[in-house]
């Protein structure tokens, strides 16, 4: 069984991005089906978008980070209102997918 977690770091400010809604989807044929959601905590983390109690089959998944409200709260202009991160689950290990954001860019990687 696979767990999926994330965290968001605002690299421009050097601290976690709190209160960011994140939705997890699984690709089923040509459609995206919602399988989990959460909001980042004060440390910018969501530890249980898909916990070990949920059996996530292998396949293509998408984390959709709604970052516009975060930058609006900071009264910060931004370029990307939303960041979709698409990745493949091909084993039963835990998948941690961090997001590094700034007002005009972002990056992600396979975490541990």
Residue 85 or residue 49, greater confidence:
85
pLDDT confidence bin for 94, thresholds 50/70/90: confident
Domain range summary for the chain, segments of one domain joined by +: 4-108
Task: Quick: pLDDT tens for 47-71.
Answer: 988 654 566 788 999 999 999 999 9
Q: What is the C-alpha to C-alpha distance for residues 105 and 112, in angstroms, rounded to an integer?
A: 23
99-102 and 105-108: which strand pairing? antiparallel
Q: Looking at domain 4-108, which CATH architecture does it have? A: Sandwich (2.60)
* pLDDT (tens digit per residue) in 15-40: 999 999 999 999 999 999 999 999 99
Full-prediction pTM beyond 0.85? Answer: yes
* Cα–Cα distance measured from residue 91 to residue 96, given in angstroms and rounded to the nearest whole number: 13
* CB count in 10 Å sphere of residue 91: 9
pLDDT at 109: 96
């Amino acid at each position: 069984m696979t767990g999926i977690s994330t965290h968001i770091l605002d690299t421009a400010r050097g601290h976690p991005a709190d209160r960011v809604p994140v939705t997890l989807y699984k690709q089923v044929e040509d459609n995206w089906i919602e399988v989990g959601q959460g909001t980042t905590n004060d440390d910018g983390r969501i530890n249980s978008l898909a916990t070990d109690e949920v059996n996530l089959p292998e396949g293509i998944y998408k984390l959709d980070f709604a970052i516009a409200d975060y930058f609006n709260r900071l009264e910060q202009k931004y370029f990307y209102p939303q960041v979709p991160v698409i990745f493949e689950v091909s084993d039963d290990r835990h998948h941690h997918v961090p997001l590094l954001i700034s007002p005009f860019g972002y990056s992600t990687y396979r975490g541990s």
